Amino acid sequence: MKLGKHIVTATAAAFMLGGCYNQPGLVEDQSYNRTKTGAATGALAGSVIGYNAGGHDAKSAIIGGLLGAAVGGAVGYNMDQQANEVARALGTGVSSDPLAALDPRRDIVVSKTKDYVKIIFRDRMMFATGSSTLQSSAKYKVNKVAQVLRNYPQTVVGVAGFTDDVGSYQYNLGLSQRRAATVSNMLAVNGRPYTKGCSYDKAIAPNDSAQNRALNRRVEVYLYADRNKMTDPCR
């Protein structure tokens, strides 16, 4: 019962720590959910470790919780800050709208989950039909992301290419792989990103119209704080 009381105290302090990171800005996402989650998780782990290591001492539990909160909150804040920096560099904001990827007016969509930041680059601004060579404006945008990544050497990067269903699966698989590799090469500032072509798997819209096919032609970039959280982008 005593340990539970100390964990509650440390976790409450963690949320206070998380609140200190709030930074105003027109294009910034103010939710900082990862910061709060990371701080709370760190507080819980730190409290238990501190309580046990300190001979079941209340002070040790609280100190351990605060240290754990600081570490966990820092990881969360790092990813939140990175999302905002990427969005600013690309001239957009961090979107919390799950339908943003279906908006044909948006060539770039930056979003975040508890595990990663995701950037969608729409095909029409990236490549000519059938090509894997970046157009000049797209090269400029991808290079902006690379510049941000230089400030985050611990970030694990994944790049995935996607096509529509025009042509064979194998042809589109090769094209999606080449396009992903082109973007990956530019983002290899802190090591080679995990790169995969997905052909026309994982379509975000039915391939039943020109507009929907344009939505499906895209390159997605994933920024992870933890390599163990990486998932298959094609599934």
| pLDDT number for residue 78 | 86
Mean pLDDT lowest for which of 6-15, 122-131, 185-194?
6-15
Give CA–CA dist 119/169, Å, rounded: 24
More confident residue, 26 or 99: 99
Q: What pLDDT score was predicted for residue 54?
A: 57
Q: Where are the alpha helices (DSSP H) in 107-227?
A: 123-126, 136-149, 169-186, 210-216
Residue spans per domain, the chain: 2-89, 94-229
- Contact (Cβ atoms closer than 8 angstroms) between residue 119 and residue 160: no
Q: What is the pLDDT of residue 57?
A: 60
Least confident of 28-32, 75-79, 90-94, 219-223: 28-32
DSSP 92-105: S-EE--TTGGG-TT
DSSP state of 21: T
User: What's the average model confidence in pLDDT over 125-147?
Assistant: 96
Q: CA 89, CA 60: separation in Å to the nearest integer?
A: 43
pLDDT above 80 (res 27):
no
Higher pLDDT, 29 or 233: 233
pLDDT digits (tens, 9 = 90+) for 46-76: 444 444 555 566 555 555 544 544 444 455 6
Cβ pair 84, 31 in contact under 8 A: no
What topology is assigned to 94-229 in CATH? 60s Ribosomal Protein L30; Chain: A; (3.30.1330)
Q: Does residue 123 contact residue 217 with C-beta atoms inside 8 Å?
A: yes
d(CA 103, CA 109): 9
Distances (CA, A) of 145 to 21, 99, 120, 162: 23, 23, 12, 19
The structure tokens listed for 117 are 């930041």
Residue 153 clears pLDDT 60, i.e. is over it: yes
For 164-181, how does the pLDDT look when each residue is reduced to its tens digit (9 = 90+)?
A: 999 999 999 999 999 999
Handedness of CA 24, 25, 31, 34 (dihedral sign): negative
Return the pLDDT at 144. 98
- Backbone φ and ψ for 191, nearest 5 degrees, come out as 125, 160
pLDDT of residue 77: 78
Average pLDDT over residues 209-229: 97
Question: Residue 42 pLDDT > 60, yes or no?
Answer: no
**Average pLDDT over the chain, rounded to an integer:** 80
3-class DSSP assignment, residue 232: coil
Q: How far is CA 87 from CA 3, 139, 146, in A?
A: 42, 16, 13
Q: Percentage of the chain with pLDDT > 90?
A: 65
